Chains A and B, each alone.
Chain A
Amino acid sequence: MSRARFALFSIIPLALAAAFVGPGTSQSQSQTPKSGGVLNMMLREELSQGFSIHETSTISTVWPAMPCLNNLVLFDPLKKTESVDTIIGELAEKWSWQDNYRNLVFFLRKGVKWHDGQPFTSKDVKFTFDMLREAPDAPAKLRINPRKDWYANIEAIETPDTHTAVFRLKKPQPSLLLMLASGYTPVYAAHVPPAEYRTNCVGTGPFKLKEWRKGEYVEFVKNPDYFVKGRPHLDGLKYFVIVERGTRQAAIQAGKLDVSFPGETTKTAAEQLKKAVPQLVITPFSQNVADNIIMNIKKPPFDNLKVRLAVSHAIDRRALIQAVHQGGAVVGAALAPKPWGFWGLAEKDLLGLPGYGAKAAEEKALARKLVAEAGFSREKPLKVEIVTRAIAVYVDMASFVINELKQVGIEATLKQIETAQWHAMATRGDYQIGANLTGVGPDDPDANYYENYACGSPRNYSQYCNEEVMKMFDAQSQELDPKKRLALNAAIQKKLEADAARPILDWKLDYFTVWPHVKNLIPHQSIYNFGRMQEVWSDK
């Protein structure tokens, strides 16, 4: 029965996917692309740091900045699944792992020019990645460097000639390539101060910045010197900043916008849009963003594993998905579950984790037992303050969690924290328990674990630190056999949930909406990696 129920919850989003996707998505690959046209797109807020992707961790920067930049490698824009097999070269024509995955050699394209006419060389690659890993002799420093940990394993970057770059690693790390393929990893120009990317975009990408009218729009035009012949297909892109959600939805419904914002369209909104404009093409996909609970492991009462596990057992994930997301999310552990992600645990494994069982009543009974074992009772109840960001999506989730905790004897009060204070508070560990959202760039274990669960990482808000688990992180990172790596990751995910390190409540789905004339804009299993727009064309 429980299996069947679980299977039902897994099948529902897939069935909806089949119902939503209209003609014009995958079929578009078989059509001959047309040249010309300008795509109108939306931004839900102003670019927070201009085009400086390396200084932010938000899709609001990555989405509009990607078209003017390039990576060394990128997840194939035409394939919806991101994996090591779907990585294609961008500024790197070829690459090669050497010395048992300790050296990664990139053979760079020749004749590539920056938008200001300067030639692209291996100097730019070294400049970018020395800056990112904060090498002692790095010629520049970023003002804010949120993904420094991604590059911690790089020992040196060598440039034997102008079109070869060698990444020397401290230990084998096959998944480095996946992080380099993320939208978060563009190459900056060595001759441009990094600060300039906050106001201007000097890239090598398929589109050149035409105008950024502050608070209003960002406009790009086709780069006629783009190194991929025949690309891009479009003449230009225009991203309108529309702060009001109702106006954004009306704009796409009226056809003023061709494409929705990744991570923006809820299931309910998608259903409304489809009803109003049946020809819209709606594709559900994983945002690679998880609702989760952060508990400060350094402070009572959450230094007690029983209390943490009680919280995890108390929250009925499936009810939360229905109540808060109207079905627009799926159950999963530390990594997004299949088919939405690549590394997530299988259904049978998930069902055995604390709080993931299909019978909510049994889970709650276990939670009550753990609360009692931790020394709390009706006379001496466990009282906690749950913090969350003062944003609707956070508050909705937190309110649901409070109600769940109440049912197992944990009395929680809600404290909303302004965005300006949230990360400072979480990094300092100045809280007991919090309702949080975590987005991960590429769907890859390294990018997730080292950022959110590793000892000492500033984004490890729970301050969970387990040396045994750290060794497991390193082991999976160095594992060359894909099957073994998958198995290691399954073990890690089980361990993280068993330790209630950061109980995951659900993985959110987005219902990406485009007009049928938009072709080759294919959502991946992460919102952060498919914004290059090089292959997109308009059949208008």
Chain B
Amino acid sequence: MPASFDRRRFLQTSGAAALAVGVLPRAAIAADPLTIGIVYVGARDDFGWNQAHAVGVKALRELPNVKVVEEENVPETDAVSKTMESMINLDGAKLILPTSFGYWSPFVLDEAKANPDVQFRHAAPLWKEGDPKNSGSYFAFLDQAHYVDGVAAGLASKSGKLGFVAAKPIGIVLRNINSFLAGARTTNPNATVQVIFTGDWSLPVREAEATNALVDAGCDLITCHVDGPKVVIQTAESRGVKSCGHNADQSPLAPKGFVTGAEYKWGTIYTGFAGLIAKGQPLPNITFGGYDRDMVQNSPYGAGATEPARKAADAAIAKLRTGAPIFTTAIKDNNGKIVLANAPKDNYAEPLNNMDYLVEGVIGSTH
């Protein structure tokens, strides 16, 4: 610190900074790099959804001739419109990646209409025909990584009773739960998954309560689908049970019980966008994928992952990379009703997108 307080140095640097700011044109920069703006709804180091995107952006920063501007804690109000406009007007951004669900309507749609020469890609499957051509959606099928979590959990858990703390009983969450169970059943045919829904994306107190309740009910491995899994993982660790992560890498939070976690690999999508723009090619309106397209990954194995669990998970990942299906038998819901007599061979098949049920083996209710 003392160096910072040196008067002469301060005058030199701040004077130079003032000069530089005054002399340089504010948006235009010599080599004309591609400026990409990323907007986060929360903090970039939240061990969850936002961190997963920030990790992807790091990959983007390593590209030559790409300039990244990031803004965090931007609420889903007028503020996000103004942030996007500011990135376009003051930073010269040509691609905007607003990463929160609630940014889309009306904010991203309005900005896309008002700025036809700027590309907008939003991190949720919401773009449809008729929406602005310069806007679009990207998303990744995290259920494939949750399936791998399940494969490892089936062997890492002694009791076979797995716990799942989930935000809301909607399709994307139900699918992760069902895939987690499908994975666990491949390594432990008697495994069950008990679910507690907290009701919203970020309710830390209820998430801790739910984790404790699941442990009290006999679950010895907990995973989750909430925005920031930090509380769930830490609570599980303090209760002495194992855990699997979600969204980003939570292994530092649970040095004893962490098995592995389902992580997005947004970097693949982001560097892909930058590459297309560099080549002068149009960006697709919809981008999606899973393990087969390198868009999801599993966290590094933690101390909770036994040797057989690691081997089985590695094998499952290798199969998913070739596009092997997650659901192989008839899909039955946990009320005994057969929902799909023949499970689709394709992990991206339409019926799987509309899951509104929990499969047999999951203890819990969607209501």
Bind each other: no
Residues of chain A touching chain B, judged by Cβ–Cβ distance below 8 Å, are none
